[in-house]
Copies of this chain bind each other. A is one copy, B any other.
Amino acid sequence: MTRSRKKRVDDGGAGRAKPDRRPTIREVSRLAGVSHMTVSRVIRDLDIVQPETRARVHKAIADLGYVPDRAAGSLASRRTGFIALMLPTLTNTNFAAVAHGLTDALRLADYDLLIAYTEYSLSEEERQLKNLLARRPEAIVLTGSMHSRGAAKMLLAAGIPVIEIADLPRRPIEHAVGFSNYEVGRTAARYLMSRGFERIGAIASSNEGDVIDHRGEERMRGFEDELARHGRPTELVIRHGHAPVSFDHGAAATPILLERRIDAVFAVSDLSAVGVVMECQRRGVAVPEQLSIVGFGDFEIGREINPPLTTIHVDFHALGLRTGRLILDLLTPGANVSAQVVDVGLTLVERASVRGVP
C-alpha cells in the first residue's frame, strides 16, 4: 500500500502564519513546552499539575487566545455537557422561569442548556426531538405528558434520563418534577363552591387541531370532575380560541360569561383572567361584585391589577431548580437513583378578585 499522502504543508517558510484556523491544544502544548495531555489537564483543572507548569500553560493559552473545542472533547469523552429542554414556547413567563431555574442549578456543574420549542405542536415535537438527540444531550427535560408515538420510542432508545416537568403524568416515562394540573382544577372548583357561588364557570382554549394545550385541558378536567362530584352542572365550562392563551382570550370570552350570567369563573391562565378583569372594567361590570375570578399561574400582572387576582400559584423557578438538582444527582457517576416523581405542590392565593375576600 503506497501512501505517500502529504500531511499538510508545515508552514515551511515565513513564521507569519495567518491561521484562519483557531489554535489547537497541540499548538498550546508546543508553545508551553509540554505534552498536549498536560494542557488538557490544566484546562480541566484536573489532577495536580505542578504550579509552575500550570502557569506556563496558562500563559501559552492566553498568548494564543486558545479556546477549547467542546465538540472534539465530547467525542473523546462521550460527554457533551448538554442538557436538552423542550418547551411549548418561550413567550410564557412561567416556562422562562423554569429555564432560568434549570440554568441556575446546572451552571455550577458546567452544563449547557439546549432549548427547543414546539409552539404547542405535536408534529413539530418529533422533528425537534430528533434534532436534539443528534446533539447527544446527557439528559432531556420535556413538558407534560403528551408525546407522539415516535417521540416516545426515540426517548427510550436514547438511553439518557428523561424528566417530564410541569404536568405530573399518570404514567411517567421515567422521572417527573411538577404538579398536578388536575388538582389545580379541583382546587379551583372546591374553592368556588365553598364560597357559595351558584353559577360557576370556566374558560379555556378549545382542543381542535394540532395545537393543543394539554396541561390546560387537564386543569379543566379536574375542574369539571370536582363539580360533577358535587352534583353541579359543568355546562358553564367554555372552550374557545386556541393556545397559547393571553389577555385577548379572556377579553373575548367575557361577553359569553356575562350573557350566561356566570357569577364566578376559573380561567385556564392568569393572562386570560386578567383579560376578563380588564374587559369588565371597560364594560362597567364590577369585579368581584358581579363576577368573581380565579386564575392560574400567579403572573406578576395579576398582583398589580385592580382588583388583584385570586390565583393558584406554582413556583416555577423552584421547579426548574429542583429539576436541575435531580439531573445533577442522576448524572453523578456511581449514583443509582431510582425513578423519581416530585410534586412541588400548589398554593391558592386569595386576593380581592373573588367576592367576600377582605
Residues of A within 8 A of B (CB): 20, 22, 65, 67-72, 74-75, 80, 89-91, 93, 96-97, 99-100, 103, 112-117, 130-131, 133-136, 153-154, 157-159, 246-248, 251, 274-275, 278, 281-282, 300-301, 303-306
Residue in B closest to A305 when the chains form the complex, CB atoms = B278
A68 to B113, CA, bound (A): 20
Query: Can you report 25 residue pairs joining A to B where beta carbons are below 8 Å apart?
Result: A20-B159, A65-B154, A65-B157, A67-B130, A67-B134, A67-B157, A67-B158, A68-B134, A69-B75, A71-B71, A71-B75, A89-B100, A90-B96, A90-B99, A91-B96, A91-B100, A93-B93, A96-B96, A100-B117, A112-B114, A114-B114, A246-B300, A247-B301, A247-B303, A281-B306
How many Å from the CB of A109 to the closest CB on chain B? 13
* 10 nearest A-B residue pairs (beta carbon): A71-B74, A90-B96, A247-B304, A65-B157, A70-B134, A278-B304, A71-B71, A91-B96, A281-B306, A67-B133
Chain B neighbourhood of A22, CB < 8 A: 157-159
Residue in B closest to A91 when the chains form the complex, CB atoms = B96
Taking a contact as CB atoms closer than 8 A, the residue among B70, B75, B114, B158 that contacts A136 in the complex is: B70
Residue in B closest to A113 when the chains form the complex, CB atoms = B115
Residue in B closest to A279 when the chains form the complex, CB atoms = B304
Chain B neighbourhood of A247, CB < 8 A: 300-301, 303-304
Supposing A65-B154, A90-B90, A153-B65 touch, asked if A135 and B304 sit within 8 A by C-beta, the answer is no
Chain B neighbourhood of A306, CB < 8 A: 278, 281-282
Chain B neighbourhood of A90, CB < 8 A: 90, 96, 99-100
Chain B neighbourhood of A70, CB < 8 A: 134-136
Residue in B closest to A19 when the chains form the complex, CB atoms = B159
Chain B neighbourhood of A246, CB < 8 A: 300
12 A-B pairs besides A69-B75, A96-B96, A247-B300 with CB distance below 8 A are A22-B158, A22-B159, A65-B154, A67-B154, A69-B136, A91-B100, A115-B115, A247-B301, A247-B304, A251-B304, A274-B304, A275-B304
Chain B neighbourhood of A274, CB < 8 A: 301, 304
Supposing A65-B154, A69-B136, A304-B251 touch, asked if A131 and B159 sit within 8 A by C-beta, the answer is no
Residue in B closest to A278 when the chains form the complex, CB atoms = B304
A130 to B67, CA, bound (A): 7
How many Å from the CB of A60 to the closest CB on chain B? 15
Chain B neighbourhood of A153, CB < 8 A: 65
A113 to B75, CA, bound (A): 20
A38 to B211, CA, bound (A): 38
Chain B neighbourhood of A158, CB < 8 A: 22, 67
Supposing A75-B75, A278-B306 touch, asked if A91 and B80 sit within 8 A by C-beta, the answer is no
A116 to B107, CA, bound (A): 11
Chain B neighbourhood of A74, CB < 8 A: 71
How many Å from the CB of A78 to the closest CB on chain B? 9
Which residue, A71, A130, A275, A305, has most C-beta atoms of chain B within 10 A? A71
